[in-house]
Structure formats: structure tokens, C-alpha cells
């Protein structure tokens, strides 16, 4: 009897706290549910504005998910996405390499969509290690000609994950980029446009991503945020390689 009474005595406070926790979760869910349409519509509106800004006088097409089918090591001994294909090319034979180069996976012709998606998720995870990943891309057309691509990129800076959107020519030259979401603290409120200037008009090979390259390009003098710029640079570089690899045939 005593045990039962003790158990009840112990259980009651836990249940009461549980009830408070449940009420708290309910309130959060309700507010989240009420605000999510507003956030979603704002995100779409913002993206439309960003795409128009980056496409300049071109016309951005429909978004395509960037399926990573092959990864190569870059000169900093990390892996970056180098080749992706749209959904029409999922059966390509390809290979990918983990950062240590020991684990190699092959995509075989005829793999199911689910398996391809699994593999893509793994590759995206690996690509975060490399601090640059292409998430989506939009072909940009001028009339009937393919003028380039707008890429949604993800990278990792000093403050953690950062999201970029950038326009490239078909040879991988960066036209313009926007830092969409980040947690970097740029000293003195330095404008991000001025920081991104360092990368404009450059292809992957010419982008300053090492500390030495950044210092030579005057990045530290501009921002005092070399590590943040390195993260941005690596993401833009992954995008440049990606755009160059899809090339002018749009695949």
C-alpha cells in the first residue's frame, strides 16, 4: 500500500508538469500553424524578387532539384558537388566519393527513385562537410537561348549555415549573388553586397577561398570576417563548378 501511495505521490508532479508541457507545445503549434502561410507566401514573394534581380534581363525558368550524381575532391581535400542532372537523367552511371576517399558508392542504371533520393540525401550531407552544396537550380533564358543559371546554394560560415542564391553564366562565371540567410556578424555593419563583390566575374578556379587568397584580395581589410567569406566563397565555388558542368546544354 505504501509503495502505491509513494508512486502516486511521485507520479502526480510529473503528470502536472507534463500537462504544462503539453499546453506549451499546443500554443506553439497553434501560433506556428497560424503564421506559417504568411511566412510561406513571403518566402515565395522574396524569391520571385530575388530571381528577377539575379536574372537581370533574362527570364528564370522552373526550378529543378539538383540531383548530385558525382562528387570530386577539390584542392582543399574536401568534397564538392561537381555534377548534377535534372530528373530526366537519373539513370546515369556515376560514382561519388566520401571525404576520406575510402567509401565509394556507385549509382547503377535502373535504380529506383527512392534509392536515388536516399543517395542524394547522403551526398548532400557529405557536401555540407565540404561547406558548399547546390540545392536547386533555375535555367535563365534570353528569348530562346539559355543565358545561364540561378542556383540555390548552401554553405557554412563562422556563424553556421548560410543560404545563398547566385546567378552564373553557362561557363561557371559568377554574375551576382545574394546572401539570403545567415548568422554571420560582419563588423561595423559592412554591407554584404560589398563583400560579395570579391567573387563577381570569377570562375571556380579564380574565386578567393583560402585565407591567403582572401587576404590578397583585400577581404580582411573590407570585413574582418575572413572565415565568413571563406564559407561564402566555397559555396559560390561549388555553384560555379556545378553551372559549368551542366554547361550550355542545360542538363
Partner 1 sequence: MTTQAKNLVSENPVFIVLIGLCPALAITGRLIDALCVGAAVLIVMAGSQLTISVLRKFIPEKMRVPAVLLVVCALVTVIDLLLNAFLPSLSARLGIFLPLVAVNCLILSRAGSFAFQNNSGVSLLDALGKGAGFFLALALIALIREIIGSGTISFSPLAEGGAIVIPLLSTVPVAVVAAPAGAFLIIGLLMGLFNSLPAIKKRISGRLPPPSKADQGTQANDEGQGGQA
Residues that bind partner 1 (CB under 8 A): 12-14, 16-17, 20-21, 24-25, 27-28, 31-32, 35, 38-39, 42, 181, 183, 188-189, 191
Cell of 145: 537561348
Between residues 24 and 93, which has the closer beta carbon with respect to partner 1? 24
- Nearest approach in angstroms of CB 157 to partner 1 is 13
Q: Rounded to an integer, what distance in angstroms lies between the CA atom of residue 242 and that of residue 251?
A: 11
Between residues 65 and 180, which has the closer beta carbon with respect to partner 1? 180
Positive/negative CA dihedral, 60, 61, 66, 72:
negative
- Nearest approach in angstroms of CB 154 to partner 1 is 17
- Nearest approach in angstroms of CB 28 to partner 1 is 5
β-sheet bridge partners, residue 153: 134, 164
- Nearest approach in angstroms of CB 12 to partner 1 is 7
- Nearest approach in angstroms of CB 185 to partner 1 is 8
Sequence-distant (6+) residues with CB within 8 A of 198 are: 208, 214, 217, 218, 219, 222, 229, 233
The values of phi and psi at residue 12, to 5°, are: -60, -50
> Contact, 204 vs 241, CB < 8 A?
yes
* DSSP sequence for 110-163: T--HHHHHHHHHHHHHHHHHTTEEEEEEEEEEETTEEEEEEEEEEEEETTEEEE
Between residues 43 and 101, which has the closer beta carbon with respect to partner 1? 43
- Nearest approach in angstroms of CB 81 to partner 1 is 27
Between residues 1 and 20, which has the closer beta carbon with respect to partner 1? 20
Amino acid at each position: 500500500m505504501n509503495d502505491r501511495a509513494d508512486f502516486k505521490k511521485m507520479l502526480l508532479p510529473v503528470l502536472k508538469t507534463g500537462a504544462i508541457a503539453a499546453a506549451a507545445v499546443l500554443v506553439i503549434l497553434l501560433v506556428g500553424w497560424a503564421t506559417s502561410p504568411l511566412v510561406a507566401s513571403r518566402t515565395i514573394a522574396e524569391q520571385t524578387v530575388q530571381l528577377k534581380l539575379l536574372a537581370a534581363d533574362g527570364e528564370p525558368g522552373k526550378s529543378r532539384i539538383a540531383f548530385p550524381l558525382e562528387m570530386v575532391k577539390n584542392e582543399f581535400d574536401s568534397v564538392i558537388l561537381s555534377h548534377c542532372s535534372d530528373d530526366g537523367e537519373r539513370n546515369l552511371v556515376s560514382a561519388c566519393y566520401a571525404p576520406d576517399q575510402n567509401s565509394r558508392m556507385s549509382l547503377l542504371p535502373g535504380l529506383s527513385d527512392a534509392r536515388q533520393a536516399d543517395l542524394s540525401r547522403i551526398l548532400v550531407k557529405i557536401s555540407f562537410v565540404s561547406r558548399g552544396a547546390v540545392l536547386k537550380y533555375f535555367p535563365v533564358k534570353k528569348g530562346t537561348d539559355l543565358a545561364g543559371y540561378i542556383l540555390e546554394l548552401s554553405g557554412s560560415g563562422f556563424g553556421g549555415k548560410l543560404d545563398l542564391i547566385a546567378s552564373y553564366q553557362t561557363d561557371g562565371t559568377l554574375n551576382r549573388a545574394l546572401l539570403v540567410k545567415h548568422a554571420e556578424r560582419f563588423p561595423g555593419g559592412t554591407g554584404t553586397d560589398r563583400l560579395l563583390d570579391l567573387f563577381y566575374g570569377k570562375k571556380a578556379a579564380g574565386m578567393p577561398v583560402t585565407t591567403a587568397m582572401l587576404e590578397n584580395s583585400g577581404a580582411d581589410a573590407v570585413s574582418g570576417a575572413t572565415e565568413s567569406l571563406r564559407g561564402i566563397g566555397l559555396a559560390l565555388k561549388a555553384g560555379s563548378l556545378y553551372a559549368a558542368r551542366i554547361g550550355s546544354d542545360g542538363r
